[in-house]
Amino acid sequence: MDILHSVADVRARVAQWRRDGLSVGLVPTMGNLHDGHLSLVHTARDHCDAVVVSVFVNPTQFGPGEDFDAYPRTLDADADRLRDAGVEVLFAPSVDEMYPLGANHTWVDVDGLGDYLCGADRPGHFRGVATVVSKLFHIVQPDVAVFGEKDFQQLAILRRMTEELLFPIRIVGAPIARDADGLAMSSRNGYLSDQERARAPRLQHHLDQARRALETGERDFRELEARTAAALSAEGFEVDYVTVANARTLAPADAGDRDLVIAAAARLGKPRLIDNLALTLPAS
């Protein structure tokens, strides 16, 4: 595996692959990698010949009170894991390489989809995500890009961006990687105390209970949201939101919506955990 730091070097490597007739996959990350990230790499490997993984802590997606400087940088360990996974190129640019003019004045913003769920309390976050991913798409020009379904809103926004900006890239959503007890894998899980870690899988449990209620006929979405949030609060979670949303628009689901996602964000001690479960209701 080669570790490349410049846009020019990545473009040269991809150009060589193209001359050799190879298809290219991209897995964008902010590093501090865990097995969930590696599952994205394995998914990319299933769809293409050569894989680029980017590790870049993107300053434009951090909002007020979110400490960009404190985000874990573990490049050496990340490189070891990616090398073992058979990745061809690790792209680890500097902030100056990705934002060569300093303060950014050109943005990619997907209207609407960022107004709900995590975006409601993080203004500008998804604008920063869409902008940096569009930069990575222009640099790598992959055939396939892989993102995790755990970040359901991010995946929806990047699918829409790719379609509307006519990127010739197939977006692949990788299923949520979970520990044996059901907790969605996340870099944030390392901040849980032992007691909190034992309680954390209850987030997925209560979302699964909500999904079963919908599958067995419950249609009062707002009541179900309130009941699920109350159950989580009773177990020590500080709930940011529990929403039954339209899986396409991410707006709170209305009667008649069939493709749904039950999404939640809640703090347990220091870390903020997110999770979701998607389902399709039967036609009435």
- Asked if residue 170 has pLDDT above 90, the reply is yes
- Asked if residue 67 has pLDDT above 80, the reply is no
- Asked if residue 180 has pLDDT above 80, the reply is yes
- Asked if residue 203 has pLDDT above 90, the reply is yes
Average pLDDT, integer, range 178-206? 95
Q: Can you give the residue ranges of every domain in the chain? A: 2-174, 187-278
Is 188 annotated to bind a ligand? Reply is: yes
Given the residues 5, 37, 47, 125, the one annotated as active site: 37
Is 35 annotated to bind a ligand? Reply is: yes
Inter-CA distances, 256 with 83, 115, 154, 219, 221, Å: 48, 22, 25, 9, 11
Which distant-in-sequence residues (6+ apart) come within 8 Å of 26 by Cβ?
A: 44, 51, 52, 53, 54, 136, 137, 140, 142, 144, 145, 146
Given a contact cutoff of 8 angstroms between Cβ atoms, the answer to whether 143 and 193 are in contact is no
Segment 31-56, tens digit of pLDDT: 999 999 999 999 999 999 999 999 99
Given a contact cutoff of 8 angstroms between Cβ atoms, the answer to whether 172 and 90 are in contact is no
Can you give the pLDDT at residue 113? 93
Can you give the pLDDT at residue 103? 87
Is 37 annotated to bind a ligand? Reply is: yes
**Whose CA is closest to 91, among 140, 32, 157?**
140
Mapped onto helix, strand or coil, the DSSP state of residue 26 is strand
Is 16 annotated to bind a ligand? Reply is: no
Is 34 annotated to bind a ligand? Reply is: yes
Sequential DSSP letters for 101-114: TSS-------TTGG
Average pLDDT, integer, range 214-219? 94
End-to-end CA distance of the chain: 53
Can you give the pLDDT at residue 235? 95
CATH topology of domain 2-174: Rossmann fold (3.40.50)
The conformation of residue 178, written as its DSSP 8-state character, comes to B
Can you give the pLDDT at residue 96? 97
Can you give the pLDDT at residue 18? 98
Is 36 annotated to bind a ligand? Reply is: yes
Average pLDDT, integer, range 240-267? 96
**Whose CA is closest to 25, among 11, 43, 6, 5?**
43
- On average, the pLDDT of the chain sits at 96
Is 194 annotated to bind a ligand? Reply is: no
Is 148 annotated to bind a ligand? Reply is: yes
Question: 37 an active-site residue?
Answer: yes
Can you give the pLDDT at residue 283? 82
- Structure token pair of residue 197: 């870690």
Q: Which residue's entry shows tokens 């692949």?
A: 172
Buried b (16+ CB within 10 A) or exposed e, 224-243: bbebbbebbeeeebebbbbb
Q: In what order do the strands lie in the sheet with 144-148?
A: 2-4, 89-91, 50-55, 24-29, 144-148, 170-174
Is 177 annotated to bind a ligand? Reply is: yes
Which distant-in-sequence residues (6+ apart) come within 8 Å of 126 by Cβ?
A: 61, 109, 110, 113, 114, 119, 153, 154, 157
**One-letter amino acid for residue 225 of the chain:** E
What is d(CA 77, CA 140) in angstroms, rounded to the nearest whole number? 23
Q: Band of the pLDDT at 71, cuts 50, 70, 90?
A: confident
CATH 3.30.70.1230 is the classification of domain 187-278: no
Buried b (16+ CB within 10 A) or exposed e, 20-55: eeeebbbbbbbbbbeebbbbbbbbbbebbebbbbbb
Q: Is 276 exposed, middle or buried (0-12, 13-18, 19+ CB in 10 A)?
A: buried
Segment 85-94, tens digit of pLDDT: 999 999 999 9
- Structure token pair of residue 242: 């529990």
Is 30 annotated to bind a ligand? Reply is: yes
